[in-house]
Structure 1
């Protein structure tokens, strides 16, 4: 199945500091490509994979599960770990969920993580009906393009496949229970006006992680897909400062 234009994965071989970037549910690498380009221009090694079932058509997600999405991130982290002295993981939305899971699983092998509007719980009331509804209705209306910046567009699906959403709901429970295992430095960037993931998700993350080095940045001018919104440059700059501080011996 051909990729949607703009949904291509991205890889840049740079120095001894590596960053794996994780895009969101039903989204694509396009939502993080400006961030990846910024970090690559700073000389970092950057991996921005396309998660299984994404970037083609929503029907292709129906056969994928959270374990498939995580396996792709895990593979990229291990690849960068073989060549980089420091490895960071950054994520948007469900990409933040994947980032937290990666941090809990890999421990000290991850130097630090950055999260943009991460999701760790079900916000919509209809989620409770998904276990049964997914056998009757294949998809519901999509969640892309929650962006305040006029003219900015996110490349992703216009439908949410319910089998995949059910798997994501199970993943939230796993990650919620793992949050105390997250001990690495954390840069959390959150939008008070988010129409996809409620701000309470970030509050939960901040209250449950065990990290003591935590930087909390509020993105006042952006909606959910803040990496394509008014605060994008602020996100990029904050993440670069985060990497410089923690990987100063290599960056």
Structure 2
């Protein structure tokens, strides 16, 4: 069993559950968590099953287990707060939307940060875009030890932070910066999660704040547009011009905090839906 690297900041009666991405760690949500806590929210950064450990730890889990970890954390946080919001980065955004679709009575609003249904950003190699074959590879037991390695800029436009994160990631400290690549079989699970969530996006009735980098190197703006066109509830789109994929820690992290706090506060107060495009 991997050690826990979750974080919890006790605050007011509005709670936010934050969900990291595939092969990532709660650390990528900590800056946003601290910012939301400073704005008065109670915040829990969950650690997905199989993460923050070895590749084998990750490969022993499925997308259903990742989702169950999020749902369990949401239920626990809801016992402490009056209103629950959920926000996730990359695959964490997909898991957050899945929770809102499956458990609408739990979720009052969703922060959708760099949603990744498809790895189709400008820095994704062409071979990685053939991920539709990975489920077959997994069923046949092919490529269990193979992975797509992360490459610069590692989702970060901030060069100083990029150097720090890449050094930690390549050092083997997965708890600090995640794994250095995406295992093929984990990507197959990610594909199954994306497929399920896409089919159920229309069941998302909670207000959604969709934040995406215009030059996202991992997931194109088409992922954000998918959310905007398919969810049923009110939604607001915020496009960032000075960040790459890791928008919760990149150059515009303060803007992400500001817009998130304003959005969740407005929803908590029952204010009218914000405009769809900002």
**TM-score of the superposed pair, with normalisation by structure 1:** 0.92
Alpha carbons 2:215, 2:243 under 8 Å: kept: yes
Gaps of 5+ in 2: 121-127, 166-176, 271-278
3-state SS of 2:142 partner: coil
Which residue of the other structure, out of 209, 213, 222, is the alignment partner of 1:191? 213
Q: Of residues 135, 138, 161 in structure 1, which corresponds to 2:183? A: 161
- How far the C-alpha of 1:129 sits from its partner, in A, is 2.3
Alignment of 1:190-229 (within 5 A): 190-211=212-233, 213-229=234-250
Within-5 A mapping of 1:55-74? 55-74=52-71
Aligned mates of 2:130, 2:106 — CA distance in 1:
38
Aligned to 2:131: 127
2:147 corresponds to: 140
> In 2, distance between residues paired with 1:200 and 1:55?
29
**The residue matched to 1:226 in structure 2 has which SS?**
coil
Size of the alignment, in residue pairs? Answer: 245
CA displacement 1:173-216 (0-9 Å, x = unmatched): 100000101111111101111121121111111111111x2111
Shift of 1:19: 0.4
Match of 2:169 in 1: none
Task: Give, in angstroms, the shift of residue 43 of structure 1.
Answer: 2.6
Mapped partners of 1:141, 1:87: distance in 2: 35
Q: For 2:96 and 2:135, how far apart are their aligned partners in 1?
A: 25
Q: Is structure 2 residue 88 aligned with structure 1 residue 81?
A: no
After alignment, is 53-62 or 16-25 more displaced? Answer: 53-62
Equivalent residue number for residue 14 of structure 2: 17
- Does the 8 A contact of 1:58 with 1:160 survive in 2? no
Q: What CA distance in whole angstroms lies between the structure 1 residues aligned with 2:72 and 2:130?
A: 33
2:248 is the counterpart of 1:244: no
RMSD, matched Cα:
1.8
Alignment partners' CA distance in 2, 1:205 and 1:133: 29
The alignment partner of 1:195 has SS state of coil
Tell me which residue corresponds to 1:173. 195
Whether the 8 Å contact between 1:103 and 1:110 is mirrored in structure 2 is yes
Q: Could you tell me which residue of structure 1 aligns to residue 41 of structure 2?
A: 44
Q: Is the 8 A contact 1:91 1:114 kept in 2?
A: yes
Select the residue among 145, 152, 172 that pairs with 2:161: 152
Aligned residue in 2 for 1:103: 100
| C-alpha displacement of 1:168 | 1.0
Q: What residue is the counterpart of 1:54 in the other structure?
A: 51
Deviation at 1:132, TM superposition (A): 3.7
**Alignment deviations for residues 11-66 of structure 1 (CA, whole Å, 9 cap, x no partner):** 12222110000100111111111011111222311110111111112221111111
* Contact 2:104–2:205 (Cα < 8 Å) also in 1: yes
CA distance in 2, matches of 1:71, 1:232: 28
State whether residues 16 and 86 of structure 1, in contact with CA within 8 Å, keep that contact through their aligned partners in structure 2. yes
